[in-house]
Amino acid sequence: MKLFLLLFFSLAPSFLPAQSISLKEIIPLSNPGDGEYYYPKFSNDGTKIFFTKDNYKGIYSYDLEKKLLKMLNDESGAGYEFDVNSSGNLVYYRSDRYINGRKYSTLKSLNTASGVIQKIVTDKRDLSTPRYIGNNKIVYSVKDKITVVAGNNALKKSVITSADKPFVLIEKSGIALYTAGKKKLLSPMGRGNYIWPSVSPDNTKLLFTCAGKGTFVSDLNGNIISKIGYANYPQWSPDGNWISYMVDKDNGYSVISSDVYISSWDCKKTFKITDTPDIYEMYPEWSPEGNRIAVNTYDGKILILVLNIEEQGTK
């Protein structure tokens, strides 16, 4: 059975749905309060958007139905690669402080309803951002050594099993892929700076950018399957068929344009979603149902791009 599944996934490019994706409308967040916000992320049920300030100070949630903004915390670095559990009530984040120039990080969980904050580890050097891998498990590394904790409230040491989602971290500028607790260091494009890695929703493919070389999709052994090209901050769609990304250009000082694109993961189809010379849409993130994308503009406005996805039959 596993062999069949493997064969199915290895042939997957032929079975991509033939769809056309375009922009239906752009909805700015109404009444988001003063200030600029960046790096939006949908909640798992799609009713809220989390985001942070420039330079990742603090975490904010915005209720899309009630149009209410709530500051969850105002901690330095908290907004960088925070994660949310599957029920959406716990946010895991890293909080940083500097002593004699050295970064000391504390891993915390925050209950979005009660506001209760729990420290998971305190004042660690070289602490990774947290990864929620399902089953109430959170993974983090300290100096590249992985720790797993589990639980809703009282967190206990745990282990990674084959039932847990694979996850990736950056170690020594390369990709550290953890599958069933085993680490595999990957440099699919050779020596370089690897950024924005992620595992596909079906846990079979790896999406990453190698700085200066482009964005690629590989299998979990690092064998390149497709090249997306110049595609920054690439993100899998929830169904794993598509990859959103930004094509940002700068003059060496400042960004001078940015638009959002969506490509099929085999890069046989590409759609330019925004085409706004005066608005620089950046850091796209999919909604859980896959029909919306949240972005921030360069000047700190949060926009929701509503997609028009049309089926065109299957190949």
Tokens of 156: 């206990």
Q: Which is nearer to other proteins, 36 or 219 (CB)?
A: 36
Q: Rule CB under 8 A: which residues touch other proteins? A: 36, 38-39, 54-56, 77, 80, 96, 98-103, 125-128, 170, 173, 193-196, 209, 211-213, 232-233, 246, 248-255, 282, 299
Please say whether the dihedral angle defined by the alpha carbons of residues 112, 113, 118 and 120, taken in this order, is positive or negative.
negative
Are 273 and 23 a contacting pair, CB within 8 Å? Answer: yes
Residue with smaller CB distance to other proteins, 9 or 80 = 80
In the complex, minimum distance from the CB of residue 101 to other proteins, in angstroms, rounded to a whole number? 4
Q: Residue 37, Cβ neighbours under 10 Å: how many?
A: 24
In the bound complex, what is the minimum distance in angstroms from residue 298's beta carbon to other proteins? 8
Minimum CB distance to other proteins smaller for 162 or for 251: 251
| Pick 6 or 185: Cβ nearer other proteins | 185
CB of 90 to other proteins, least distance (A): 22
List of residues 6+ apart from 290 with CB closer than 8 A: 237, 238, 239, 242, 309
What phi-psi label fits residue 221: left (phi over 0), alpha (psi between -120 and 50 degrees) or beta? alpha
d(CA 315, CA 300): 41
Q: At closest approach, how far in Å is the CB of 115 from other proteins? A: 24
Instruction: State the nearest-atom distance from the C-beta of 191 to other proteins, in Å.
Output: 9
Considering the complex, state which of residue 278 and residue 299 has its C-beta at the smaller distance from other proteins: 299
Q: C-beta of 105: minimal distance to other proteins in Å?
A: 8
Q: d(Cα 111, Cα 152) in Å, to the nearest integer? A: 10
| Nearer Cβ to other proteins (241/244) | 244
| Other residues' Cβ atoms within 10 Å of the Cβ of residue 246 | 23
Q: How far is Cα 69 from Cα 65, in angstroms, rounded to an integer?
A: 11
